[in-house]
Structure formats: structure tokens, C-alpha cells
Amino acid sequence: MGQEKVACNNCCLEDFYTLTAFRGNEGYDFLGKEFKVVLCKNCGLCFLNPRPNETSYSRYYAGGLGSRRRQGFGGQAKKETKKLTKEDVLSKKHFQRLYAEWLNARWGLQKDARIVEIGCGMGAFLYFLKELGYENVSGIEMGKDAAEKARTVLGIPVLIQDFFSHSFEAESFDAVAGVALIEHMMDPHKTIARMSGLLKTGGMLYLNTPNLLSLTFRKQFFKFVHTYYFTLKTLTSMLGQEGFEVTHALSVPTLASSSNLLFPENCIPGEMHIIAKKTGIKKSPIKTNYRDIIALYQKRKLQELPYIMSNKIFLNKYAEPLRKIRAKFRDRYKKNPKKELEEFFRHVLKV
């Protein structure tokens, strides 16, 4: 495949460096296809080039594995034919309770704040916010099945609509959330602009997305469904251009990955959680020395497991302290591994 002629979604320039390539490992149009990840030489934003077209993505998300993945039921096809219980829906997303708790302690919103989640799937995250006392939560979701489940199983109001043609009133929300959303979009900048359009000035935005500079990035996150790849700097830059100021940013272990259960040494920061406030003051894109990103990326590539364990700096800085903490939690919750993991993450998140 040749290069797709597309401007950088963050800074609008068109000068790219090919960072890496990988092969699609899932069905529909993508199996075995090579995907290149390019990096903008001006600002450091990374994305697939060429990006799969909208039709391919729509087919993927509309049916089969793709839609199940978005709903959090990857690999559990059988269950879909049965009636799902609340426990089924929540157990797959239990880690999102921690996201909700992390936010609750930081974003300074009243409990009657009007909150909407974009691409809310079956609504687990909103359900957890509701459990924390937020009464006024709702979602928007394109997938009919997922949205129906959010409504009927969890009792969460969900609009079945494409976010780009939504019918919400402008500037009517106190908070907008995008959980593992922004990396899937064909135009993340436009997505952030639309999120801003929904928020009152002073309103809060919550995003989480993989961190390109994390140590396990290549292994866990390069996927054809991830169109864009962010660092804290590129995401801050994009948010700044749409009038957001980042108030909280944290990189934590990837809670969604079950491999963290099996390999605690994998518990290294891979996922960014960001809270930003809508100030309405728009800023210019932030420039980056792209060679620094390449150098960091190359260094981290060498540290991939199993080699990762032989790297002293890595061990001292990340793995060893985390393993020690993890061991404490293991002792404390011997009979309840699920609880142990949850409490460990809660500790790491400093909830």
C-alpha cells in the first residue's frame, strides 16, 4: 500500500517518518495486511498510514468480533445468545469502577452534574459513576445492541446515534467522557472539538488512551483499530487547540489487560488518564523534536519482554517497586485474587 495523503491531525503539516509496521491479526479486511505507523516530524503525533477506510471500519464495528470487542465481550460469543445479567456486563469492565473513583476524587463536580459518555458501549463506566452518586449520567453509542443492553440491563439512558450527528443541545453538559475512544477515531481532533461543543465553559473532559511511550506499547497497543497513537504531549497539544487545559494526567498499568493478572511484571504504565478543563482559550499546537520520540521508542522496543527483565533501569524504576507492592496485596488478599488485583490497581491509581 502506498502512503495516504493526509495532513497531521494535530498540527496540519505533512511531513512524516515511518516509525514501525505491523500486520493485522484479525478478520474482515485486515487479516495479514501490513499497517505502517507514521510520526509527524513537526509535532510527534503518530497514526496509521494509510488508515483503513471508513467502510472497512464500519463493517468491523458493525458485526462479529469487532462489535463484541467494543462491547467488552471479545472471545465470549456464546454468552451473547443468552440473556445477559448486570453481573455479566459489569464483571468484564470492573476496572472501570477504578477510573470512576479516580475521577470522582479529582474532577470537582457536583453530584447533580450533567455527564455524557461518548461511545459508551453497554454503559458500565456510567453505571459506576452512578454508583458514586452522580445522578445525571447518559451515553451516546452507535452500536444498537450495546446501547439496548445499557438501557435494559444497567438502566442507563443512551442515545443510539453517531456522535458526529448527535442531537444534544450545545454547551449543555458539565462533563464529557471518552473511555478508550480517541485512539479509535478517524479524526480525533474533530472529536475533541465536538466534545468541547457539548461542554459548558469550565466543564470537564475525561479521556483515557494508550500511551505511545509506555514500555509495553508495541506488544499491547499496535492494532489496526487504533488509528491514532498519543503521547501526553500530543494529546495536550490537541486539547489546547480546542480550548482545554489539562488539569490531571496519569500513566498507569493497563487495567483492561488480563495479562496483568498472569504477569505482574507487566504492570507498567501503559495507559494515560487525562482530565482537562474547558477554558475556551485556544492555543497553538506544541512542537516536538521527533527524533526524541524515535529514540525513546527505539529504546523501549529493546526493552520488550522477556528482555525487559534484564534491564536494570527498568527493574529499579518500575518493575521492582511495583512487584513489592503487589506482593503485599497478594498476602493481604490470598483467597480473593480478583479483589487483590482491584486493590492493587486502586493503590497504583492512588484513589
**Residue ranges binding Zn ion (CB under 5 A):** 8, 10-11, 40, 42-43, 45
Q: Which is nearer to Zn ion, 8 or 192 (CB)?
A: 8
Sheet holding 115-118, edge to edge: 158-160, 137-141, 115-118, 173-179, 199-210, 269-278, 244-253
In 3D space, the residue among 156, 256, 242 whose CA is nearest the CA of residue 208 turns out to be 256
Q: How far is the CB of 180 from Zn ion (least distance, A)?
A: 23
Distance of CA 191 to the CA centre of its chain: 14
Contacts of 167 (CB under 8 A, 6+ apart): 159, 161
Distances (CA, A) of 336 to 263, 339, 341, 345: 17, 5, 9, 14
Q: Which is nearer to Zn ion, 45 or 205 (CB)?
A: 45
Q: Which is nearer to Zn ion, 43 or 272 (CB)?
A: 43
H helices within 134-258, ranges in order?
A: 144-152, 188-198, 217-221, 232-241
Q: How far is the CB of 343 from Zn ion (least distance, A)?
A: 40
Q: Which is nearer to Zn ion, 8 or 120 (CB)?
A: 8
User: E strands of the chain, at which residues?
Assistant: 16-23, 34-40, 46-48, 115-118, 137-141, 158-160, 173-179, 199-210, 228-229, 244-253, 269-278
Q: Which is nearer to Zn ion, 44 or 269 (CB)?
A: 44
Q: How far is the CB of 52 from Zn ion (least distance, A)?
A: 21
Q: How far is the CB of 193 from Zn ion (least distance, A)?
A: 16
Cβ atoms 232, 249 nearer than 8 A: yes
H helices within 4-123, ranges in order?
A: 54-62, 64-70, 77-81, 86-91, 96-104
Q: How far is the CB of 232 from Zn ion (least distance, A)?
A: 15
Q: How far is the CB of 281 from Zn ion (least distance, A)?
A: 21
Cβ atoms 101, 346 nearer than 8 A: yes
Q: From CA 186, how far away is CA 319, in angstroms rounded?
A: 35
Would you say how long the chain is, in residues? 351
Q: Which is nearer to Zn ion, 10 or 196 (CB)?
A: 10
Q: Which is nearer to Zn ion, 40 or 349 (CB)?
A: 40
Q: How far is the CB of 47 from Zn ion (least distance, A)?
A: 10
Q: Which three cell numbers stand for residue 299?
A: 529504546
